[in-house]
Amino acid sequence: MTRLRVLSDDEFNKLYKKPNILEEERYHIFELDQNDHNYLNTLNNIEVKIDYILQLGYFRISQYFFTFTFLEVKEDVDFIVNTYFPNNTVKLGKINNRQHYLNRNIILNKYNIKVYCKKFENNLSKYLKSLIKQSAMEASPILIYISKILC
């Protein structure tokens, strides 16, 4: 049985594959502001710092978080080490999930983005219901359909 393809391969890659960054783009993508430096100064583990910078840069490009090993993104890691940690000897291992999600949450807070939760769904449902009531006179077929689902 054939699967339905909604996205082309290019569209899928743009959304879900780690971005390929050109050498001349790296400086701007992995650029840090003062808040980033302040956060990095609270961390002791250089691997966690590198993960934060990588996730921040990739998030800026795609608004998505990726799972990867440092070896898979070696060129980006080398750039970050040479730019931000030139005097450090870096042996890269793996960071733990707790620290990975802490980095992710710091980035989300930086851009004032919230992670999906049930409360958001409830608020969205209430908002949609109020929109449907407000525009009942000129309700489009899609609003009528949504109202049947929600009510």
> What is the pLDDT, as a whole number, of residue 91?
80
Instruction: Give the mean model confidence (pLDDT) for residues 59-72.
Output: 91
Report domain extents, the chain: 9-110, 118-150
Global pTM? 0.75
Please tell me which residue, 59 or 151, carries the higher pLDDT value: 59
pLDDT at site 131: 74
Q: What is the pLDDT at residue 11?
A: 82
What are the tokens at 58?
A: 């990739």
pLDDT(148) > 70: no
Which range has the top average pLDDT, 69-73, 88-92, 128-132, 134-138?
69-73
Give the DSSP per-residue string, 99-116: HHHHHHHHHHHHTT-PPP
pLDDT, the chain, mean: 85
112: left (phi over 0), alpha (psi -120 to 50) or beta: left
Greater pLDDT, 145 or 91: 91
pLDDT at site 110: 96
pLDDT for residue 88: 80
List the one residue out of 114, 115, 105, 113 whose CA is nearest residue 39. Answer: 105
Angle at CA 37, nearest 5°, toward 33 and 39? 115
Question: 94-98 — which CB contacts under 8 Å span 24+ positions?
Answer: 94/47, 94/69, 95/45, 95/47, 95/48, 95/51
